[in-house]
Amino acid sequence: MIFEVKEKDLAGRTGKLVTKMGVIETPAFFPVINPRNNIIPVNILKNKFKIKNIITNAYILSKYLIQRSMPIRDIHEILNFNDIIMTDSGAYQILVYKKVSIDPIEIIEIQEKLNSDIAVILDIPTSGTASYKEARETVWRTIKNAKISIEKITRSDIIWVGPVQGGIYTDLVRYCARKIGSMNFQMHAIGGPTQLMENYRFDDLVDLVVNAKRELPINRPVHLFGAGHPLILPLLVALGCDTFDSASYAIYARDDRYITPTGTIKLDRLEVLPCNCEVCRKYEAKELKELDKKSRMQILAEHNLSVIIKEINNIKQAIHEGTLWELIEIKARAHPQLHQAVLRLMKYRKYLEKYDPSLKGKVKGIFYFSYEGLSRPEITRHLIKLQRNVRFHDKKILLLIPDPIEKPYHKSKKVKRIIKIVNKTLRERAVEVHECIYCVPFGIIPLEIDEIYPLTQHEKSIHKDLNSYKVILKAAEILLKNNNYRFVIIYKDEDHHYLNEKIVNRLKKLCNKLNVKVKIVRNGTKELKEILKTLSGEILHV
């Protein structure tokens, strides 16, 4: 077992990836190292940043050594780095230059000679602009290369990575993941995201990752190539990615771009440095601009790398606390296309619920801000349980009460007063009422279970958000179809202005569609009492 999962949140996880040179705490970021010319020297990465894992390109390195008639030897010696080194196969060069002068067998032999700790077979990347036919060809060739590579691998102490291709064509992604996942790789990677990220196609990136993850063995770690911006990392971890690599910290520095947790800023636009890393404590914005190009590049790269590492640590802490969703929502407001990607999660809410633990180590209340939060696993799980478990065939009246301020709901004075009226009115009548709370974000909560976490362990922003109201209609439809209610009473409380007339009218329309009669209480408990007498009389008469 090379991969041990420690904690989970959503489909994300923290864990330990064991290699022959040490243990990687995941999620982890692999800085891309240019074996010929790196902006940040390797000794600074080791000593200043405490980096224990890097990635470099085996294809480029081998070509460099061969051109200088130098032997291919231990990469740890070449780079003077005695920790974990991952090597890529040259597939990115295929994406850029369309072809490389290497084959899958040769790259296996090279990486074994280099003594890589984690090594990637030669896959064929799917371009973000590829046609379906072109994408299918890359998938076919990647699978073919994988079969050849598996047969030629001789070193079992190296973690071999089987990449998945297919790009924006989710059926090809699933097919490729199934085929690659059935082979004896210890780790997997998802290829082709770089162009999607460069063009802010974050919703397509969500499709790519989820469809690959669904088909890959859950016990194997998954690497995502080319992901290195703190803006997108929390979402990618939440979808199930464990490790990442990127040269973004250096590429942005070359272009005088300053990474922040929510974007990038051109250096000439900076009046102050909005960060507290070592670089930003040492320099003023004006001083940084006045440095010579080489010095400025290294210092900017060090800042950029600091921000990425800090984001990885923030993600680990969020998983530990069970607040990864909140972190995603904070990020989502930083860019419209990222917000669009978070909305895409509604399509995959059952995937998130499947892997999100119902009990987490650090139990705390959840926050609900607006309709994108309906994708939260806790809400999906509640609707699933309503569907599977809530059956009250003897209760003929469904009473929907708006959520009171006090929690748990069944202990609130307002709810107690309503329940007292129900019990007193129907004391001598053999008619049972099912009392439920209707509310955002859980839709409908039967009072019998309102103390179950997190049904009353949440805080929400109360506003007129018609998209959020959809969860009430969904939950009502589940209850009405699975039970034998003859009547629905909707208690309309003017104190609950966010549960406005529109949602009441939509509930009424739903009941009519399902042939269930509806009564709306608008004038308090006295009107409720009269309605209960009338409806119970009709039930008993039948």
Structural domains in the chain, CATH included, are 3-355 (3.20.20.105), 377-541 (3.40.50.10630)
Which tokens sit at 4? 């041990």
Consecutive H or E run containing 330: helix 324-332
Please state, in angstroms and rounded to a whole number, the distance separating the CA atoms of residues 111 and 58: 7
| pLDDT, tens digit (0-9, with 9 covering 90-100), for 295-324 | 999 999 999 999 999 999 999 999 999 999
Q: For residue 165, is pLDDT > 70?
A: yes
Alpha-carbon dihedral angle through residues 335, 244, 122, 154, given to the nearest 10 degrees: -170
Please list, in sequence order, all residues whose beta carbon lies within 8 angstroms of the beta carbon of residue 65, skipping any fewer than 6 positions away: 71, 72, 78
Query: Quick one: pLDDT at residue 153?
Result: 97
Angle, vertex CA 230, rays to CA 228 and CA 235, nearest 5 = 95
Query: What does the pLDDT read at residue 20?
Result: 96
Span of 61-70, 181-190, 227-236, 244-253 with lowest mean pLDDT: 61-70
- 454 and 365 Cβ atoms separated by less than 8 Å: yes
Q: For residue 362, name the pLDDT band (cuts at 50, 70, 90).
A: low
Q: What is the pLDDT of residues 469-516, one digit of tens each?
A: 899 999 999 999 999 999 999 998 766 555 678 888 899 999 999 999
Beta bridge partners of 378: none
Return the SS3 of 272: coil
CB 231 within 8 A of CB 249: no
- SS3 readout for 424-459: HHCCCCCCEEEEEEEECCCEEEEHHHCCCCCCCCEE
Query: Is 207 noted as a catalytic residue in this protein?
Result: no
**Residue 260 — pLDDT band, cuts 50, 70, 90?**
very high
Average pLDDT over residues 340-356: 96
Q: What is the pLDDT of residue 220?
A: 97
Decide if pLDDT at 455 tops 70: yes
Question: Largest Cα–Cα distance in the chain?
Answer: 99
- In sequence order, which ranges of 4-54 are alpha helices (DSSP H)? 42-47
Contacts of 177 (CB under 8 A, 6+ apart): 164, 166, 188, 211, 212, 213, 214, 215, 216
3-state DSSP helix/strand/coil % of the chain, to nearest 5 = 50, 20, 35
Looking at the whole model, is its pTM more than 0.85? Answer: yes
Strand duo 257-260 + 243-246: pairing: unpaired
Q: Which of 9, 88, 356, 450 is catalytic?
A: 88
Sheet holding 3-9, edge to edge: 3-9, 12-19, 22-26
Q: Rounded distance, CA 512 to CA 58, Å?
A: 67
Residue 354 makes CB contacts below 8 A (sequence gap 6+) with 11
- Whether 261 has a pLDDT exceeding 80, the answer reads yes
- Give the span between the Cα atoms of 458 and 454, in whole angstroms: 6
> What is the Cα–Cα distance from 257 to 39, expressed in whole angstroms?
14
State which H helix or E strand residue 519 sits in. strand 517-521
Q: How confident is the model at residue 129 (pLDDT cuts 50, 70, 90)?
A: confident
User: Are 75 and 65 within 8 A, CB to CB?
Assistant: no
Provide the pairing of β-strand 395-402 with 487-491: parallel
Amino acid 499: pLDDT: 62
Q: Which pLDDT does position 498 carry in this prediction? A: 56
In the prediction, which pLDDT does 98 show? 59
